[in-house]
């Protein structure tokens, strides 16, 4: 029977990594892989995480199973940063569990959406490709709306229309900040409107907060999520520490559920635990334990936040440099300056994407999505010149 399986297409990003690695040119540039890089092109382990890992190695007494909910100390210590320090549990209406990265959180959230009887998920287009892939694998329908307009702003008319046309049994998936792949985020005023629209609907919000702290700051980047949660009766929140703690390969995430009545939480979370048990049984502990130790120690927390500030400041500098180039060949790089996070989309044609690879050794996704953290003082002018060359 296994020989009846159909060949699946290679993951585009993994194929891109291979292409970049096989390019012999010394000045090649990788703008495809979605990890933070320093000005030297490195992806270092946070010093705060290093210190926490050392403490963990010295003090951890057992590696026995924790259960499908994972490290609940990690889950609880993270909550004030996600939901606000004043009332992180929303009067007992929010509870969470650890997951294997943000992808694990999304998989679990959408599986709960399916189990709860929802039929369809409203998703902005473009979105992170795994959003639609997970929906398809679970048998959930997808209704797409345009996330952004050609001028680089959010398409609020499209979002309003999607919410207005929603039916019973619909959920909506929204990026909390640092939109992947466009970098185009809703303003605070737009989030206010979104919260109001969702409050007047029967749509279940699924909020994906994968890049908190990489846009404008930990508090600033949580604005939209908190505004929505303040107005709707229930929601699912997907969280990743892979980016803002630099724990990519350790797969550190969390899923939170907000319910109408605190009495419903145990029943709702029991479904999360059962689904987790059937998928991965229990999440890996090391990365989450390191995050917990950072958040339990005031000095390590301060160190972590300072490192996060440095990451954000560097990406802001890269964005400012690209924006200052303005009209470059046939494209305008100016909007990149007001976008957020790791990613932006440059409107290349398929032929131009290929020419950037073959002629200039610059690799990024076929959609035109670039990882701005892959640009440094040593290669950014080459990138700008190449853009001018292939789009002129």
**Residue 236, SS3 per DSSP:** strand
Q: Is 157 an active-site residue?
A: no
Asked whether the beta carbons of 70 and 287 are under 8 A apart, the reply is no
Which position among 71, 128, 242, 250 bears the catalytic label?
128
**What's the first-to-final CA gap in the chain, in angstroms?**
53
- 79: which residues sit within 8 A by CB, 6+ positions away? 88, 89, 94, 96, 256
Asked whether the beta carbons of 115 and 275 are under 8 A apart, the reply is yes
Select from 110, 118, 124, 132 the least CA-distant residue to 168. Answer: 118
Q: Is 208 an active-site residue?
A: yes
Which position among 71, 243, 250, 304 bears the catalytic label?
243
Select from 370, 381, 376, 363 the least CA-distant residue to 317. Answer: 376
Q: Is 389 an active-site residue?
A: no
- 127: which residues sit within 8 A by CB, 6+ positions away? 147, 173, 175, 180, 181
Q: How far apart are CA 259 and CA 273, in angstroms?
A: 16
Specify burial of residue 255 (Cβ count, 10 A radius: 0-12, 13-18, 19+).
Answer: buried
Which position among 208, 221, 250, 285 bears the catalytic label?
208
Q: How far apart are CA 347 and CA 327, in angstroms?
A: 12
Long-range residue pairs from 350-355, CB within 8 A, at least 24 positions apart, any chain: 352/390, 352/391, 355/390
Q: Token pair for residue 199?
A: 């409050």
Asked whether the beta carbons of 133 and 8 are under 8 A apart, the reply is no
Q: Supply the residues annotated as catalytic.
A: 128, 208, 243
């Amino acid at each position: 029977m296994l020989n009846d399986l159909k060949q699946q297409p290679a993951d585009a990003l993994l194929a891109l990594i291979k292409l970049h690695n096989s390019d012999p040119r010394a000045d090649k540039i990788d703008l495809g892989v979605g990890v933070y890089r320093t000005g030297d092109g490195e992806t270092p382990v946070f010093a705060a995480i290093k210190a926490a890992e050392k403490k963990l190695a010295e003090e951890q007494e057992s590696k026995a199973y924790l259960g499908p909910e994972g490290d609940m100390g990690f889950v609880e210590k993270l909550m004030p940063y996600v939901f606000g320090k004043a009332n992180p549990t929303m009067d007992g209406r929010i509870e969470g569990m650890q997951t294997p990265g943000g992808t694990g959180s999304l998989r679990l959230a959408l599986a709960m959406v399916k189990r709860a009887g929802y039929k369809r998920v409203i998703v902005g287009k473009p979105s992170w490709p795994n959003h639609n892939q997970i929906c398809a694998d679970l048998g959930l329908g997808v209704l797409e709306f345009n996330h952004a307009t050609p001028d680089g702003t959010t398409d609020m008319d499209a979002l309003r229309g999607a919410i207005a046309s929603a039916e019973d049994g619909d959920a909506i998936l929204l990026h909390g900040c640092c939109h992947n792949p466009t970098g185009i985020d809703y303003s605070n005023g737009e989030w206010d409107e979104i919260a109001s629209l969702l409050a007047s609907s029967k749509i279940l919000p699924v909020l994906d907060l994968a890049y908190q702290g990489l846009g404008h700051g930990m508090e600033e980047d949580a604005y939209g999520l908190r505004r929505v949660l303040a107005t709707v009766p229930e929601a699912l929140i997907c969280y990743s520490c892979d980016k803002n703690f630099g724990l990519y390969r350790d797969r550190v995430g969390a899923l939170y559920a907000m319910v109408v009545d605190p009495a419903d939480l145990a029943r709702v979370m029991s479904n999360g635990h059962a689904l987790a048990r059937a998928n991965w049984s229990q999440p890996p502990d090391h990365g989450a334990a390191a995050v917990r130790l950072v958040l339990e120690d005031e000095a390590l927390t301060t160190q972590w936040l300072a490192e996060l500030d440095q990451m954000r400041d560097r990406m802001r500098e890269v964005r400012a440099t690209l924006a200052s180039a303005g009209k470059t060949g046939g494209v305008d790089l100016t909007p990149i300056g007001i976008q957020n996070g790791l990613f932006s989309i440059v409107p290349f044609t398929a032929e131009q994407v290929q020419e950037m690879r073959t002629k200039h050794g610059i690799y990024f996704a076929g959609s035109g999505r670039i990882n701005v953290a892959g640009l440094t003082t040593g290669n950014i002018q080459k990138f700008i010149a190449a853009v001018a060359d292939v789009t002129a």
